[in-house]
Every structure is written in structure tokens, then in C-alpha cells.
């Protein structure tokens, strides 16, 4: 079983998709859920599944990223999944878990990413650009927002959609498929980085 931690900031529908994926049931165990808030809906979901939750940050009652690094070594966390986590992961922490942190982004990177590009900001920018397709991207996390190597992408035709909200709805459906897909591939040891590109074995 691959020991996984999921980082969240709000609703937790991607966490739910991972917890409920039949393919992941015997492959991974989510042993820590981390958020940048003291509480959020995703924490409630984690507690329902008896998963320990940690609030990370500099505020009182929160653990620091340094402390989290130690905790994760004790828990033997092998994969970190950012699923709607809004804060930038500090460089030291990224280097400590190099190529073991992935993020889901609700658009087709490298477009519509970067600082401030999260949630409805992304879908509004996509809508106003008049792009005809959008989608979801899962990528490795490096030291800056949304720039790590891309592992998988899926697109959706948005040419007939009438609002950013409609785009968000369609993209979220894809997120709930692509994230468990990538986590499954990682758990099965089917993702490689060679010749500067990520290769996903079928
Ligand atoms: C998702 O759209 C994710 O791609 C983005 O934030 C949203 C989180 O949704 N980065 P949820 O908390 O998983 O429901």
C-alpha cells in the first residue's frame, strides 16, 4: 500500500474521489490530510474516514512545514497529492519530496496557471479568453506555481458553454477521473521521467 497524504483547502471533492476510487482501494492508504485552515469541509470528510488532519502554516496551533517534514518521515509518506491546496509549498519541502508531490490544476497547463490562478479565477480567465477547450492537468510540483512537468491531461469541449460556472462543472468531472488515474499509475510504478518527459506506461 502506498502511503499518501492529500493537501486540501476547502470542499474536498478530489479527496473524496480518491477515497472512493475502487481502483485505489487496495493500492493506497491516505494516512494524513493537510490543510492551510484550522477547519474546512475536506477535514470533516477526512475525519469521517478516521484520517488524521494537520493544519500547516505559521499561525498558532498550526504545524510548520519543517515539522510536517518530520511527521511525514515518521509516517513514511511516499506520495503527496495537492488537491485544491492554495498555498505555495516551500522550496525546502519540495526538495525533500522531489518528484513525490503532484498537483491537480483545473485547466490545460501551461496556460491559465501561476499565482492567483485558482478556483473560479481560472475558469473566468478561460471563459473570457474565448478558448474552445479546457480541461484538467496533473503535474509534478516544483518550486513555483503550476510549472512542474505535466503527467497527464484531459480536455473538454467548452465551445457551447455559457459561463465560467459551467466550465468549472465540466472540468471538475474530469478532475475526479484524472487524479485517481494518475495516483493509480504512481502506485503501480508506471510513471517515469526520462528524456526530459514524463512517460506513463499503460
Ligand atoms: C479543484 O478544481 C482543483 O483542481 C483546484 O481547486 C479545486 C478543489 O476542489 N485546484 P475540491 O476541494 O477538491 O473539491
Question: 122 CA distance to ligand 1 centroid (A)?
Answer: 11
Q: What is the CATH number of the domain that holds 190?
A: 3.40.50.170
Q: Work out the widest C-alpha separation in the chain, in whole angstroms.
A: 50
**Closest residue CA from atom 1 of ligand 1:** 84
Closest to 49 (Cα-Cα) out of 71, 16, 73: 16
Q: What is the mean pLDDT of residues 118-137?
A: 98
pLDDT in tens, 142-190: 999 999 999 999 999 999 999 999 999 999 999 999 999 999 999 999 9
The whole-angstrom separation of Cα 135 and Cα 105 is 9
Total-model pTM: 0.96
Q: What is the pLDDT of residues 43-92, one digit of tens each?
A: 999 999 999 999 999 999 899 999 999 999 999 999 999 999 999 999 99
**Which of 119, 139, 151 is the best mutation target for the ligand 1 pocket, counting ligand atoms within 8 Å of the beta carbon and taking the most?**
119
CB within 6 Å of ligand 1 — which residues? 8, 10-14, 42, 83-84, 104-106, 118-119, 172, 175
In DSSP notation, 60-97 reads TTPBPHHHHHHHHHHHT--EEEESS--SPPPHHHHHHT
* C-alpha separations of 38 from 16, 82, 163 in Å: 19, 17, 32
Considering the candidates 105, 123, 139, 176, report the single residue annotated as catalytic: 105
Contacts of 87 (CB under 8 A, 6+ apart): 9, 36, 56, 57
Q: What is the CA radius of gyration of the chain?
A: 16
In the reported structure, the alpha carbon of residue 17 is separated from the centroid of ligand 1 by a whole-number distance in angstroms of 11
Specify the residue with its C-alpha closest to ligand 1, atom 6: 84
3-state DSSP of 98-121:
CCCEEEEECCCCCCCCCCCCCHHH
In sign, the C-alpha dihedral spanning 10, 13, 19, 23 is negative
With CA atoms as reference, report the closest residue to 158 among 128, 125, 133: 133
> So what's the pLDDT on residue 54?
97
In the predicted model, what is the mean pLDDT of residues 32-42? 96
Question: How confident is residue 195, by pLDDT bands cut at 50, 70 and 90?
Answer: confident
Q: How far is the CA of 82 from the centre of ligand 1 (A)?
A: 9
Nearest CA among 152, 202, 189 for reference residue 78: 189
Residues 9-22 pLDDT 10s: 999 999 999 999 99
User: Count of domains in the chain?
Assistant: 1
- C-alpha of residue 19 to centroid of ligand 1, in Å: 15
Residues of the domain holding 114: 2-200
**Given this model, what pLDDT does residue 18 score?**
98
As a whole number of angstroms, the distance between CA 132 and CA 134 comes to 7
Contact 178, 138 (CB under 8 A): yes
* Burial class of residue 26, CB neighbours in 10 A (0-12, 13-18, 19+): exposed
Which numbered atom of ligand 1 lies nearest the CA of 17?
13
Average pLDDT over residues 133-141: 98
105 is catalytic: yes
Amino acid at each position: 500500500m502506498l502511503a499518501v497524504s492529500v493537501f486540501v483547502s476547502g470542499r474536498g471533492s478530489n479527496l473524496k474521489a480518491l477515497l472512493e476510487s475502487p481502483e485505489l482501494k487496495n493500492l493506497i492508504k491516505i494516512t494524513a490530510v493537510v490543510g492551510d485552515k484550522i477547519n474546512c469541509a475536506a477535514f470533516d470528510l477526512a475525519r469521517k474516514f478516521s484520517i488524521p488532519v494537520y493544519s500547516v502554516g505559521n499561525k498558532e496551533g498550526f504545524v510548520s512545514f519543517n515539522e510536517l517534514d518530520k511527521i511525514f518521515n515518521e509516517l513514511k509518506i511516499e506520495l503527496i497529492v495537492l488537491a485544491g491546496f492554495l498555498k505555495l509549498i516551500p522550496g525546502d519541502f519540495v526538495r525533500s519530496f522531489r518528484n513525490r508531490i503532484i498537483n491537480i490544476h483545473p485547466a490545460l497547463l501551461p496556460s491559465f496557471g501561476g499565482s492567483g490562478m485558482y478556483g473560479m479565477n481560472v475558469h473566468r480567465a478561460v471563459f473570457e479568453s474565448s478558448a474552445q477547450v479546457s480541461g484538467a492537468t496533473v503535474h509534478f510540483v516544483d518550486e513555483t506555481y503550476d510549472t512542474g512537468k505535466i503527467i497527464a491531461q484531459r480536455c473538454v469541449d467548452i465551445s457551447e458553454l455559457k459561463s465560467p460556472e459551467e466550465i468549472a462543472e465540466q472540468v471538475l468531472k474530469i478532475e475526479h477521473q484524472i487524479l485517481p488515474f494518475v495516483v493509480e499509475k504512481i502506485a503501480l510504478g508506471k510513471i517515469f521521467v526520462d528524456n526530459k518527459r514524463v512517460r506513463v506506461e499503460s
